[in-house]
Structure 1
Amino acid sequence: MQTAETFTADAAVELAIVERSGFIESRHIGSAVLLDPSGTPAATLGAVDAPVFVRSTLKPLQAIASMRMGAELTGPALGLATASHRAEQRHIDVVADMLASAGLDESHLRCPAVAPADRVTRDARAAAGHPTSRLHFNCSGKHAAFLLAAVAGGHPTDTYLDPNHPVQQEVERVVEELTGAPPLAIGVDGCGAPVHALTLTALATAISHVARGADELSSRLMDGVFAHPWTVEGRGRPNTTVLEELGVFAKFGAEGVMVMATRTGWSVAAKCLDGSSRPTTLTALRLLEASGDVPAEAAQRVLEELTQPVTGGIDDDGRTVHVGRLREGAALRTFGGGAR
């Protein structure tokens, strides 16, 4: 039997390069699409209609499905339902409160128990005797929303991740409704939830719908996310920074997937073929910049803040020397992103 797969290297394009001492050391290849608010492609780079496991970029659609099923999400809980959070203490507290509102606790979560990704919280939780917890897992807010939906509908809570569970069936309906087509494949995500394969074009279509608040639940969800951008990832992190400083919705997914969208509906979906997240913020922001909906100066400021320089030892004063940087690859330069 033929193995289902995403696009191959010969169908990908060069999204970004890494330069060290004037030498191109690495190249990131992948695909990306920019859609205007009507859903018309304004730029297609690579294989934008090939299947991609969209990983955590699916979370806004999963949150909407939970809300449709009766999950009462308000305030920061709206952001946590879409989050891949770093398990700062405030993330943990919101997820615990979400569960408690339905008479549940962390034992009902079916995501793995891990240490917090946030170092300050990790040290504090370890010192308090709680080094690992299911609450710490980056998808715990999404799982809590699933559980709230299950309780609201009178459905079993122990099987809420089963693809045939009513909550997951609603996720599939939302995906088909907002993308215009059923999933191309369904697998198992790292948190244990079903993960859908979509084209980048379909993914960008759905994210545009949500970001511009095209229906009541999408509008509520985005209002909550933009009111509490720290919920989506964490302080100083790329997605939260893009939300805070540019007013652009941003959500990464594992294995090099990224979506961004403006409140007017310009949207980007990108996939780095080798699974790296390093080029995806650059790719998405350069494409949104080209749309004219994100000011070039603002995008450049955020990229300088978020992009780690290529380093080369220290100088005589003990300061780290910068000898290179991540910059646009051939496909972005050809499209008009330009070298900066």
Structure 2
Amino acid sequence: MGRSGTFIAADAVELATVSRGGFIESRHIGSAAVVDGEGEPIALIGDTSTPVFPRSTMKFLQTLAALDAGAPLDGEHLAIACASHSGTPLHVALVRDILGRAGLDETALQCPPAWPADRAARDALIRSGEPNAPIYMECSGKHAAFLAACREAGWPTDSYLDPEHPLQRRVAETVGRFGGGRIDHTSVDGCGAPVHTMPLVALARSMARFATAQESSPFAIFRHAAQIRDAVIAHPTAMSGAGRPDTVLIEQLGIMAKFGAEGVYVAATREGVSVALKYLDGTGRGAPLVALQLLVAAGAVAPQQAEQVLPHLGLEVRGGGRVVGHVNVGAGVPVELPAR
């Protein structure tokens, strides 16, 4: 058993600040790892070796395990499997389609019931008089992919979230193999699926492997990783929702980006320069900004490109209905990183 917690404040750096009227009222500390396309560290900021729970950023690895187990997914269906979606009609239709192709319906989902995060979809559901349901939960695509893999492999579907289930054992193996780090602790994610710890540097390394994977690889795991990357880049709206920061980074910059609960964020360019970070306070406010700045500092994203997307990342602080401040990059985030 590893240590009972993640890194401590003394080993963290300032990742972001929040200003109001020119006064910094909040500071968010955390750690971040930046690696190149080979998975080699470019910068290790704060403590990047102590394990963290990747939370929903682990969906890429979970979907990879489902593909390796035979889940018949491609295109938008792969994207929704990796998604923390907002429950729009598009998202729900994709999840239902995965289940239907597997000969299942939404009653097979074991994620908790939820209301759509998308306001229009939530209002429409309430007006219809229908209750909340597991299919609207942001992780339902991943659960549908799990079930599709189980049906294809001939594994039981009623216990697909059990850590000892063959699919979940395969997920654990994939986490260790793709990230190159051992699992020190396993618990239950918000959606009910097992979640495994890994250091930020291992999480960043796994993203680099997704980014640089080749469809022509002799190894199935890398061919599947390339399929996932291409699906995510091709279908950004399926990954999150229109106008959300992840969607913006994917759509406008071609970055494979994903948030996770408790302040975790990952981002990878097509060349493989990858970032994994965690806010120690769990908020994640401004995490896409920090990840983007680290990619700029590494020379992987042009400053002009970054400037164009900043207005779409939800960084404004409001007071009385008007903008009175912003979320900004913290002092612990480098302006420039060594060239490799």
Q: Shared fold by TM > 0.5?
A: yes
| Matching residue of 2:64 | 64
What CA distance in whole angstroms lies between the structure 2 residues aligned with 1:263 and 1:34? 14
C-alpha deviation, 1:133, in angstroms: 1.2
| Matching residue of 1:227 | 234
| Matching residue of 1:325 | 326
What CA distance in whole angstroms lies between the structure 2 residues aligned with 1:323 and 1:128? 38
What CA distance in whole angstroms lies between the structure 1 residues aligned with 2:160 and 2:295? 36
Unpaired runs of at least 5, structure 1: 314-319
Identity of aligned residues (%): 48
What CA distance in whole angstroms lies between the structure 1 residues aligned with 2:205 and 2:315? 30
1:74-99 CA-partner distances (Å, limit 9, x unpaired): 22101011000000110000000100
Moved more, 204-213 or 105-114: 204-213
| Matching residue of 2:154 | 154
What CA distance in whole angstroms lies between the structure 1 residues aligned with 2:161 and 2:211? 26
Work out whether residues 32 and 44 of structure 2, in 8 Å CA contact, stay in contact via their aligned partners in 1: yes
C-alpha deviation, 1:213, in angstroms: 2.3
Q: How many residues are treated as equivalent by the alignment?
A: 330
C-alpha deviation, 1:335, in angstroms: 4.5
1:113-162 CA-partner distances (Å, limit 9, x unpaired): 11111111111122223231111000000000000111111111000000
| Matching residue of 1:241 | 248
Indicate the SS of the match to 2:197. Answer: strand
Letter of the structure 2 residue corresponding to residue 275 of structure 1: G
| Matching residue of 1:44 | 44
C-alpha deviation, 1:292, in angstroms: 1.5
Unpaired runs of at least 5, structure 2: 215-221
Work out whether residues 49 and 201 of structure 2, in 8 Å CA contact, stay in contact via their aligned partners in 1: yes
1:277-302 CA-partner distances (Å, limit 9, x unpaired): 21311110000111222111111221
TM-score, L = length of structure 2: 0.94
Indicate the SS of the match to 1:162. Answer: coil
Work out whether residues 183 and 196 of structure 2, in 8 Å CA contact, stay in contact via their aligned partners in 1: yes
Work out whether residues 38 and 208 of structure 2, in 8 Å CA contact, stay in contact via their aligned partners in 1: no
| Matching residue of 2:219 | none
Work out whether residues 289 and 313 of structure 2, in 8 Å CA contact, stay in contact via their aligned partners in 1: no
Work out whether residues 28 and 279 of structure 1, in 8 Å CA contact, stay in contact via their aligned partners in 2: no
Moved more, 16-25 or 5-14: 16-25
What CA distance in whole angstroms lies between the structure 2 residues aligned with 1:39 and 1:209? 7
Task: Specify which of 289, 303, 324 is matched with residue 282 of structure 1.
Answer: 289
Work out whether residues 86 and 138 of structure 2, in 8 Å CA contact, stay in contact via their aligned partners in 1: yes
Task: Specify which of 263, 272, 290 is matched with residue 265 of structure 1.
Answer: 272
User: Are residue 304 (structure 1) and residue 311 (structure 2) matched?
Assistant: yes
Matches within 5 A, 1:67-86: 67-86=67-86
C-alpha deviation, 1:18, in angstroms: 1.0
C-alpha deviation, 1:304, in angstroms: 2.2
| Matching residue of 1:254 | 261
Indicate the SS of the match to 1:255. Answer: coil
Letter of the structure 2 residue corresponding to residue 304 of structure 1: P
What CA distance in whole angstroms lies between the structure 2 residues aligned with 1:210 and 1:129? 42
Indicate the SS of the match to 1:330. Answer: coil
Q: List structure 1 segments (4+ residues) > 4 angstroms apart after TM superposition.
A: none
Letter of the structure 1 residue corresponding to residue 258 of structure 2: K
TM-score, L = length of structure 1: 0.94
Matches within 5 A, 1:184-199: 184-199=184-199
Work out whether residues 43 and 335 of structure 1, in 8 Å CA contact, stay in contact via their aligned partners in 2: no
Letter of the structure 2 residue corresponding to residue 238 of structure 1: P
Moved more, 70-79 or 174-183: 174-183
What CA distance in whole angstroms lies between the structure 2 residues aligned with 1:21 and 1:241? 27
Letter of the structure 2 residue corresponding to residue 233 of structure 1: S
| Matching residue of 1:213 | 213
| Matching residue of 1:200 | 200
Indicate the SS of the match to 1:224. Answer: helix
User: Are residue 116 (structure 1) and residue 97 (structure 2) matched?
Assistant: no
Indicate the SS of the match to 1:71. Answer: coil
Moved more, 131-140 or 213-222: 213-222
Indicate the SS of the match to 2:332. Answer: helix
What CA distance in whole angstroms lies between the structure 2 residues aligned with 1:243 and 1:280? 15
C-alpha deviation, 1:2, in angstroms: 9.3
